[in-house]
């Protein structure tokens, strides 16, 4: 027992002046000089945050987020298949009525662009973005020294969270090197699928530009025939009334005696509008993503570091961290990385 002054033990006062808690990483007792809302364990290196804020997510909000992602994934896949099938049906019979060399060349281009777009989309959407590794924690005899350096405890997953991971409340899991949650793939973009996400944007932009070029060229060949048909039939049907050129064209397609021709014309209009929008929208997103990767940042970093990107090392090294150490030409080839093989498949079925 300590000495007594005015009936109060001095050692008791000293103990009360300090603060004792438990490290979540190794289970050891930690005594600090005073209360600290955040501290690092000297043994395992884990960071403890006392009274971490928990933002509750209602089950209704989770269901809405899940349903939104499922709808967007369905729409993206439907749009992709409609552009591929509609493009082949609308352009190939006009440009290649017989099997020529050009037919085989453009068939190969269409196959390569379509396969790579769909392959990388599926890899980005249906693979877990970056699950944290499984580590031992909670017991001193299981945790080596500095084994949890920089780790924090995720209050949502109730599991250790690596220093380069973020928790996504939409996916309800922690994601290593999380860039952002993309509703169009219904998944986060992280260490496992960042490469596939970028390649999907690249091939989608290239495919959109190819479809726009082909549909515009075919339209330039189909348009004169439609105009001649309008001039020959519209005055007789409408009593010589004056109509806008586009309105006349639409009426002509409706009244045409060749349904296949009118449907092809509608398909070409759809392809031009869809592919042009695709090139602009996805192209801008691709530019922004490549810029972030080149500066060594994620989208989350750019939001929380206000101008930090100007001080980052801008080099091909940052690109190689995402795409691999192979020759840049090999980056474009479809392959499944070892990270993806180790990760489980993400389900969109709810």
- Catalytic residue annotation: 182
Alpha helices in 239-324 (DSSP H): 245-255, 259-294, 299-304, 316-323
Residues contacting 230, CB < 8 A, separation 6+? 248, 249, 251, 252
How many residues does this entry show for the chain?
350
Could you tell me if 41 and 23 are in contact, meaning their C-beta atoms sit under 8 angstroms apart? yes
- End-to-end CA gap in the chain: 61
Give the integer Cα–Cα distance in Å for 142 and 135: 10
For residue 187, how many other CB atoms are within 10 A of its CB?
Answer: 26
Residue 278, both tokens: 């695709």
Residue 210, both tokens: 């190819």
Cα angle at 31 between 30 and 35, to 5 degrees?
A: 110
CA dihedral of residues 293, 298, 299, 304 (deg, nearest 10) = -130
Residues contacting 101, CB < 8 A, separation 6+? none
DSSP output for 93-129:
HHH-SS--HHHHHHHHHHHHHHHHHHHHHHHHHSB-S
Q: Which of 136, 174, 192 has its CA nearest to residue 336?
A: 192
């Amino acid at each position: 027992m300590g000495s007594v002054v005015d009936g109060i033990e001095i050692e008791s006062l000293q103990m009360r002046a300090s603060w004792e808690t438990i490290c979540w990483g190794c289970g050891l007792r930690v005594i600090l000089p005073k209360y600290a809302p955040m501290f690092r364990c000297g043994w395992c290196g884990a960071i403890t945050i006392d009274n971490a804020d928990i933002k509750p997510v209602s089950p209704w909000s989770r269901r809405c987020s899940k349903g939104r992602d499922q709808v967007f994934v369905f729409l993206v896949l439907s749009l992709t298949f409609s552009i591929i099938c509609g493009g082949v049906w609308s352009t190939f019979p006009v440009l290649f009525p017989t099997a020529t060399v050009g037919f085989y060349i453009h068939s190969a281009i269409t196959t390569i662009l379509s396969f790579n777009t769909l392959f990388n989309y599926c890899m980005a959407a249906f693979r877990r973005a970056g699950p944290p590794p499984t580590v031992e924690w909670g017991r001193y005899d299981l945790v080596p020294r500095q084994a949890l350096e920089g780790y924090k405890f995720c209050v949502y997953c109730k599991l250790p969270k690596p220093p380069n991971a973020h928790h996504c409340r939409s996916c309800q899991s922690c994601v290593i090197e999380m860039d952002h949650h993309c509703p169009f793939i219904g998944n986060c973009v992280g260490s496992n699928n960042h490469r596939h996400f970028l390649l999907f944007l690249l091939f989608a932009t290239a495919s959109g530009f190819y479809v726009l070029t082909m549909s515009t060229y075919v339209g330039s060949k189909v348009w004169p025939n439609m105009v001649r048909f309008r001039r020959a039939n519209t005055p007789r049907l409408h009593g010589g009334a004056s109509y806008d050129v586009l309105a006349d064209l639409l009426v002509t397609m409706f009244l045409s005696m060749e349904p296949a021709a009118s449907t092809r014309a509608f398909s070409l209009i759809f392809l031009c509008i869809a592919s042009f929008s695709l090139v602009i929208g996805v192209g801008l997103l691709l530019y922004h993503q490549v810029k972030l990767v080149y500066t060594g940042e994620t989208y989350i970093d750019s939001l929380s570091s206000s101008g930090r990107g100007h001080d980052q090392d801008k080099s091909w090294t940052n690109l190689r961290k995402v795409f691999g150490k192979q020759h840049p030409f090999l980056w474009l080839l479809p392959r499944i990385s070892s990270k993806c093989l180790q990760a489980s498949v993400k389900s969109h079925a709810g």
